Every structure is written in structure tokens, then in C-alpha cells.
């Protein structure tokens, strides 16, 4: 039987190296472009596949995760789904602690992956639930806690994959990013991508995003509710270092819903509510820098997790909303590039090409 760590690496091509979408739109009569990673195309449908893969890979190497050992995690949905998909594929029992107020689709997807689900209500803080998960792990022999809210592996996954992909996909087209925007759930995306991009070009801005109605990052208060599942869970994650980032951008949840509806219905992208929020946040960052600025973000997940939510209901626009003023024009999917998708080890392990001379591979015009 194959080693579990090797089996994980065989799934790598299902995760990472997503297309970068160049979305053209009109705002106030001016043509502009925002760049967004199509993270909903990952294995289980979200960006969280990256951290599940990275954390499990490192845990196997460090001996912290053994074959068939139970995995226990706290999540608002996507991270649990990612660990359930990868964990069950590799033979791990998976137990997920999840709020009872998130979309019904999230529960059903977890059930489909064979995970055990423990729900909790709004009367329980996320910190309390994390404590319950840790107690269960202590009572479960060999259990592994990914600890997405505290694990540096979360940041590392985006530093080593998402950030370089954005940088090189843009560079392939002669572009340099000037800002990156991402909603904050654990903070891993904006911290990891921001760290990489700032190393490449220190002037690049990295903006965390939050719902306007639940401004935990900008105000430090826990008050307020919102409808952008996956971000602002009423908990300031230990991973998040606001001092290393740039200004917090706030987006109204109704505005995010309308923007996600437009991306889905007008461009056929099939993304979730947080993607609408991230797109609007990127536009706001671009407003500060100028309409020609190169701003990137992520479309964190797909719309299939939100079919029972307000994403599929009519949202009444407000005068201050930005989404109704945006006219989407077109989208171009920028391909993966050699800097991040080339896997020499896989090429060496593959069988030799017997027909290379008769059927040579295409000549790359970018290489000599």
C-alpha cells in the first residue's frame, strides 16, 4: 500500500495553480480591470484546499499526523469541507465543529464527504468551541488538530503557493500587482499572499477586508451581524497581524450579495458571496490608486454552498452600494505559468516519452 504522504502528493494537481481571471468592467464610464484567482476550481470548491493540503503535508513530514488518525477541526464551512475531502480520501476519520447558522449546503457537503459534524449555536463563542475541539482531541488517541486559526502552516500555504501564482501570472503578462485584497476569516490568505508580494515589491499594498456591519478588525468590537459566510466569525484570529498589513476595507453584505449575483448571472462564474465582497474591496483599493492600477484578489469559493441563502434572493440596492454602478464586460482566464506549475519530480518519475522525436512537444516561444 502506498504511503499516505505519497497519496496526498498525488492529489496536488487537483489543488493550486488556479486560473487568474482578468475581469473587465465599466465604472463611471471608465474601463477598468480587476484580477481574481478562481479558487472555487480547487478540489473541494474553495481556497481552503490549499491550507488543508499544506498543513497535512507538513504534519505527515513532522510525524504529527499518522495514517488513519482522526482529524478534528473548527470551521465555518470551507476549511472543514477541505479537510473532510482530503482526509477521507486518505483514510482519516474527520470530525468537524461548525456553527448551526451557516448554510444548509455546507452541512450536506460535509455529510457527503463522510465527516462527523458537531454543531454549536451563537451562544457559544468561537474560542469556546476551539476549546471543546481541543478537549475532544485530548480524549481521542492519535487525534490531529490542524488549528487553522493559529497554525503558521495556514500562512505558509498562501506564501508558498497563492502569492507566487498571482505574482508570476501577472508578470507573464508584463504586469506588477500594486495591491491585494482578501476577506479575513483566519487571516491566512491576506497574511501569506501579502508577505510574499511585499517581499517581491515592498510598495505593494495588502488590504484585509471585513463586513461593514461587523467591523471587528477596524473597531475591535464584536458587535454586529452580517451575511458574508466565511469571514469575520466574531473572533480575532491569532494569525492576523494588522500592523504588517495596510488599511482595512469594509464592504456592506448586501452590496457583496449583489456583486456576487452579477458575477454569476452576467459572467457565469458561479462564485459565492465573499467573492462579491472581495471584488468590491479590490475596486475600492483601485479607487485609491487610480483606475489603471493592477489590483488582485481571490474568489474564495463557489455558489453551490449558498443556494439556500440570500444569494438566490432579490437584494434591494441602497444608494451607497457600489455593485449596481459596476457594468461587467468580460472575463479572460489567464493560465498557470511554468514558474509555479512545473513539477520536475513528476517528470522524472514518469515513463520516458518513446515518441518524442516523431511527436515533439510544442516549442515554447518564451524560452530559448
Tens of pLDDT, residue by residue over 77-90, are 899 999 999 999 99
Q: Do domains 14-46+154-334 and 49-138 have the same CATH topology?
A: yes
- The gap from C-alpha 210 to its chain's centroid, in whole angstroms, comes to 15
Burial of 218 (0-12, 13-18, 19+ CB in 10 A): middle
Instruction: Quickly state the pLDDT bin for 350 (edges 50, 70, 90).
Output: low
The DSSP string of 176-219 is: ---EEEEE-SSSHHHHHHHHHHHHH-TT-EEEEEEETTS-HHHH
83, 51 Cβ separation under 8 angstroms: no
Q: Scanning the structure block, which residue is given the C-alpha cell 508558498?
A: 160
Do residues 76 and 100 touch, judged by C-beta distance below 8 A? no
Domain ranges of the chain: 14-46+154-334, 49-138
Q: How confident is the model at residue 221 (pLDDT cuts 50, 70, 90)?
A: confident
Q: Are 20 and 37 in contact (CB under 8 A)?
A: yes
Which amino acids are annotated catalytic?
Answer: 48, 274
CATH number belonging to the domain at 14-46+154-334, selected among 3.40.50.1100, 3.40.50.1110, 3.40.50.170, 2.60.40.10: 3.40.50.1100
- The answer, yes or no, to whether residue 159 has pLDDT greater than 70, is yes
What topology does CATH give the domain 49-138? Answer: Rossmann fold (3.40.50)
Comparing 359 with 266, the larger pLDDT belongs to: 266
pLDDT at position 352 is 65
CA distances from 362 to 344, 356, 365 (A): 18, 11, 9
What is the tens place of the pLDDT at every residue in 251-287? 999 999 999 999 999 999 999 999 999 999 999 999 9
Residue among 301, 231, 51, 17 nearest 158 (CA): 51
Q: Which residues of 312-335 are buried (b: 16+ CB within 10 A; e: fewer)?
A: eeebeeeeebbbeebebeebeebe
CA distance 188 to 193: 8
Q: Please tell me the predicted confidence (pLDDT) of residue 1.
A: 44
Lookup: cell for 30: 471608465
Cell of 49: 484546499
Amino acid at each position: 500500500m502506498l504511503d499516505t504522504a505519497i497519496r496526498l502528493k498525488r492529489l496536488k494537481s487537483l489543488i493550486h495553480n488556479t486560473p487568474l481571471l482578468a475581469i473587465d468592467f465599466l465604472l463611471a464610464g471608465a474601463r477598468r480591470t480587476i484580477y481574481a484567482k478562481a479558487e472555487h476550481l480547487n478540489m473541494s470548491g474553495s481556497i481552503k484546499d490549499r491550507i488543508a493540503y499544506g498543513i497535512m503535508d507538513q504534519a505527515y513530514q513532522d510525524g504529527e499526523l499518522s495514517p488513519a488518525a482522526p482529524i478534528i477541526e473548527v470551521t465555518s464551512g470551507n476549511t472543514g469541507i477541505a479537510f473532510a475531502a482530503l482526509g477521507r480520501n486518505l483514510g482519516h476519520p474527520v470530525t468537524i465543529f461548525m456553527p448551526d447558522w451557516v448554510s444548509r449546503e455546507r452541512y450536506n457537503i460535509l455529510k457527503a464527504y463522510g465527516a462527523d459534524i458537531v454543531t454549536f449555536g451563537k451562544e457559544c463563542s468561537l474560542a469556546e468551541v476551539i476549546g471543546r475541539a481541543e478537549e475532544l482531541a485530548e480524549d481521542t488517541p492519535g487525534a490531529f488538530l490542524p488549528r487553522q486559526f493559529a497554525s503558521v502552516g495556514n500562512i505558509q500555504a498562501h506564501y508558498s503557493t497563492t502569492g507566487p501564482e498571482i505574482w508570476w501570472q501577472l508578470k507573464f503578462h508584463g504586469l506588477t500587482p500594486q495591491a491585494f485584497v482578501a476577506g479575513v476569516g483566519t487571516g491566512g490568505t491576506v497574511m501569506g499572499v501579502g508577505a510574499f508580494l511585499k517581499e517581491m515589491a515592498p510598495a505593494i499594498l495588502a488590504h484585509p477586508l471585513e463586513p461593514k456591519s461587523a467591523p471587528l478588525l477596524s473597531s475591535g468590537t464584536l458587535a454586529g451581524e452580517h451575511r458574508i459566510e466565511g469571514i469575520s466569525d466574531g473572533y480575532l484570529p491569532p494569525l492576523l497581524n494588522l500592523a504588517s498589513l495596510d488599511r482595512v476595507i469594509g464592504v456592506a453584505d448586501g452590496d457583496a450579495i449583489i456583486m456576487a449575483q452579477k458575477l454569476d448571472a452576467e459572467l457565469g462564474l458561479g462564485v459565492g458571496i465573499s467573492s462579491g465582497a472581495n471584488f468590491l474591496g479590490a475596486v475600492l483599493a483601485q479607487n485609491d490608486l487610480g483606475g489603471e492600477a493592477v489590483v488582485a484578489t481571490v474568489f474564495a469559493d463557489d455558489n453551490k454552498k449558498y443556494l439556500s441563502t440570500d444569494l438566490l434572493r432579490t437584494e434591494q440596492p441602497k444608494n451607497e452600494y457600489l455593485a449596481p454602478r459596476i457594468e461587467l464586460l468580460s472575463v479572460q482566464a489567464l493560465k498557470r505559468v511554468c514558474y509555479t506549475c512545473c513539477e520536475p519530480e513528476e517528470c522524472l518519475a514518469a515513463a520516458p516519452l518513446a515518441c518524442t522525436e516523431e511527436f515533439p512537444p510544442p516549442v515554447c516561444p518564451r524560452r530559448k
